Structure 1
Amino acid sequence: MARSILSLGALLLGSAFLVFAGGLNGLLLPIRGEIEGFTAASLGLLGTGWAVGYVAGCIATSSLVARVGHVRVFGAMCAVAAITVLLSLLFVTPWVWVPLRGIAGFCFAGAAMVVESWLNEKAESSNRGRIFGVYTMVNLGATTAGQLALTTGDPAGYVFFVVAAIVYCMALLPTAVSATTTPTALVKVSLDLGGLWRNSPIAVVAVFMVGISNAAFGTLVAVYGARTGLSVSEVALFASVPVLAGAIAQVPIGILSDRYDRRKVLIGIALLALVADATFLFAGFTGTAALIATSAVFGAAVFSMYPVIVAHANDHAAPGTFIQVSGGLLLVFGVGSIIGPTIAGFAMTRYGTSSLFWTTAAAHVLMLLFALLRLRARAAVPAEDKTAFRAAPLARGTTPETAVLAEPTDPETPASPA
């Protein structure tokens, strides 16, 4: 029993180092790019590069692990991710940063999948929920800590790049020296858009729009904050508070979505997101506190949408297809994540800083209109046929292996498409 606990702790520690480094580097690059005078368009492409690499990593890692094994793949992913951070320090130009960001996204996805496959091997029906909950909270805390680390120094120097690279290397140590057994093969996913659409059209459209909105915000929030006049420390808070608010909001939203039609819950969340969008666009902020408070409302809405959408899709899924549906939706989210930062970045360069929230507002309006349309097309799923809501880490940090770890019990009979 003690060995099992220690091996699980090693996996969680490795994951914590991984996401700490990812959170630090993910916020450091746009802040440093803004200091260097990069355009918003080029900084938006950082998010696009990351999303392309992340989606590719989710698809390709299972084959890599099958060839050389979990330990070698995990070590290689962490090492290459560290190398990309150091190369970003040596070559301070978006032409180098964007492809490096793609490589980092690939490595991050691969490393996360390996950690989650180890956790899946340890999880049993009696403790799967607890393990997933602890894993989610560890990653949330480590991501936030990585972002807030920027409040302790000057991002114009080299220190934070070195720290991120060191922590990426530290991530491979707990698993390299642990006695954890090698888990089974990783899950493979593919994008069956037709199957996903037949299962739940609203899930496909909504998760695509969430990808556009959340990736645009996650990539360019630092640029918006800096150009609004926030200090580096305030920018770090501005980026971190929405993530925490989104995690907290999943508790009441999950309860509501289990009791009521999830489409109506999603409509309510989209309306709340639009209120936050409109506040950013028209309020004319004069204080930092109001800006950060609005970002908390925004985060509570946009970062709680993804698990509601996945839960709704799985309410309609045939028994035994939960992983395929969740993995397919993750890839659709990834496609949206590729598009969102590019649109928002070029719009901010052409039309001004507020274009970030015109982009997110457009995504939320389209999601809302399609949800209202589908609400009239099909009846709600009966409560007894619903799968249980599962809180989720940030969708950008979700992999197909996350779906395996969070897998609920399938309903006995599939519901009709929504």
Structure 2
Amino acid sequence: MSIAEIRASGRAPGIAAAVACITIAGVSLALSVPLLAFAMEARGASGLFIGANTAMGGIAVLVATPLIPRAAAAVGVRPLLFGALVLGAASMIGFAAIEPLWLWFPLRFMLGVALGAMFVLSEFWITSLAPPRSRGLVMGLYVTALSLGFAAGPAILAAIGAHGFTPFVVGAALFGFAVVPIVLIGDQAPRIDRPERGRGVMFFIRLAPVATLAAFTFGAIETGAFTFLPLYGVRVGLDATSATLLGSAVSLGNVISQIPLGMLSDRCDRRLLLIGVAALCAFGAALMPLASASPVAFFALCVLWGSIITGLYTIGLALLGERFSGVDLATANAAFVVMYAAGMLGGPPIIGVSIDLWNPHGVPVATALMLALYAAVALIRTRPTASP
């Protein structure tokens, strides 16, 4: 099914509204991460304090996200999404207005709760409306838009500066602006029934390990590799500016490939495609020590690697939409986000230990091993007697 056929199905406005909402919120998220780090450092916070405060957002996602499907069943998807956007805006204003830094921990928790709810509800909305024949295409469009939003956040911060109240007000305003597409579309959000007892997040993690472990693996690698890739670049001989641009090279790859990958997933077994993505990216990570001898080759490899790795997220979401619907899809989406957040918390320590044990090549080696482990587990789970 093409984009024109999606429009003809009458589902395009609802999909576009949800994509626009989470993309605008993603701009604010991407702006807030460096902004809060800069603000805490300017006020004398230690690296440990900044890291602990950042981790609080991930803890909030792990704690609150399993409750979102039940809350959405009680109050509705649209009202709960509105509430999450308001909570996100209030958190940003709180960071600007509240002086004691220890109070930034509950504020960071609030922001994490808001973001967890936004992602679960938006992704459920998008996946449930996506026509089965083009679910991968829709998820590719969504992830591409979200990637562009993440890229825009730091650019906006660079333009307005990281000092004073202005960047916090801009961040809050972006959350407010994200309400607009949901208001314009009217009350067309999908409904969620109350989840059955025993069919919570852990149930769906066990029931759909290929998809949910893809989220964990991607979260671990996205956060860990992006954190240490610039450091790795410096240690293999790049100057600081060039090393920093390695992350941009990976992000460029993310943007250019998700639609083709999504379309490919509409035409083949998504479980096998996830295994292929992980295996190919493991091979690409293993090539990084060789490619690092040439800056041009290294940057080209990072673009190519980045163009494939985000497929774990895109195809994983499409696989959930293929398997589940209704409240089961909402809870499976919550499981997906929980696993992604768990990966974000676990990835940096794993890669950090690896670079200490093998300096400098611990970064690509640990990345390759995590991807290879996921591919092996997913391959086992694709046996005819196993659940996807």
How does the TM-score come out when normalised to structure 2? 0.68
Q: What percentage of residue pairs aligned between the two structures are identical?
A: 22
Aligned: 1:191 with 2:201: yes
Aligned: 1:242 with 2:250: yes
Q: Which amino acid aligns with 1:331?
A: V
Q: Within 1, Cα distance between the matches of 2:137 and 2:378?
A: 33
Aligned: 1:214 with 2:219: no
Task: Give the CA deviation at 1:217.
Answer: 3.4
Q: 30-39 vs 8-17, which deviates more? A: 30-39
2:28 maps to 21
Q: Which amino acid aligns with 1:298?
A: W
Let me know the Cα RMSD of the aligned residues: 5.1
1:340 maps to 347
For residue 296 of structure 1, the aligned residue among 294, 303, 313 is: 303
1:10-409 map, 5 Å: 13-30=20-37, 45=52, 48-66=55-73, 72-89=79-96, 99-115=106-122, 135-152=142-159, 154-155=161-162, 159-176=166-183, 178=184, 180-181=186-187, 183=189, 185-186=191-192, 190-193=200-203, 197=206, 202-203=210-211, 205-217=213-225, 229-231=239-241, 235=244, 238-254=246-262, 265-278=273-286, 280=288, 284=292, 287=295, 292-309=299-316, 323=329, 327-344=334-351, 356-371=363-378, 374=380, 378=383
Q: Secondary structure at the match of 1:378?
A: coil
Number of residues paired by the alignment? 373
Residue 144 of structure 2 contacts residue 254 of structure 2 at CA under 8 Å; is this kept in 1? no
Task: Give the CA deviation at 1:338.
Answer: 3.0
Q: Within 1, Cα distance between the matches of 2:324 and 2:20?
A: 36
Task: Give the CA deviation at 1:331.
Answer: 3.4
Task: Give the CA deviation at 1:155.
Answer: 3.8
Task: Give the CA deviation at 1:97.
Answer: 5.2
Q: 340-349 vs 242-251, which deviates more? A: 340-349
Q: Within 2, Cα distance between the matches of 1:104 and 1:338?
A: 16
Q: Which amino acid aligns with 1:209?
A: T
Task: Give the CA deviation at 1:25.
Answer: 1.8
With over 3 angstroms needed to count, the CA separation of the structure-2 counterparts of 1:285 and 1:92, relative to structure 1, is farther
Q: Which amino acid aligns with 1:53?
A: A
Q: Can you list the C-alpha shifts for 1:90-110, whole angstroms capped at 9, x where unaligned?
A: 679986655543321210232
Residue 138 of structure 2 contacts residue 262 of structure 2 at CA under 8 Å; is this kept in 1? no
Q: Which amino acid aligns with 1:216?
A: G
Q: Which amino acid aligns with 1:214?
A: E
Residue 212 of structure 2 contacts residue 336 of structure 2 at CA under 8 Å; is this kept in 1? yes
With over 3 angstroms needed to count, the CA separation of the structure-2 counterparts of 1:118 and 1:358, relative to structure 1, is closer
Q: 116-125 vs 58-67, which deviates more? A: 116-125
Q: 89-98 vs 249-258, which deviates more? A: 89-98
1:386 maps to none
Task: Could you tell me which runs of 5 or more consecutive residues in structure 2 were left unpaired when the two chains were aligned.
Answer: 1-6
Residue 196 of structure 1 contacts residue 325 of structure 1 at CA under 8 Å; is this kept in 2? yes
Q: Can you list the C-alpha shifts for 1:334-356, whole angstroms capped at 9, x where unaligned?
A: 33333224544677799978655
Q: Within 2, Cα distance between the matches of 1:249 and 1:120?
A: 19
Q: Can you list the C-alpha shifts for 1:70-116, whole angstroms capped at 9, x where unaligned?
A: 56544432233233334445679986655543321210232345556
Q: Within 2, Cα distance between the matches of 1:139 and 1:170?
A: 16
Task: Give the CA deviation at 1:303.
Answer: 0.9
Residue 82 of structure 1 contacts residue 169 of structure 1 at CA under 8 Å; is this kept in 2? yes
Task: Give the CA deviation at 1:279.
Answer: 5.1
Higher helix share: 2
Q: Within 1, Cα distance between the matches of 2:102 and 2:359?
A: 22
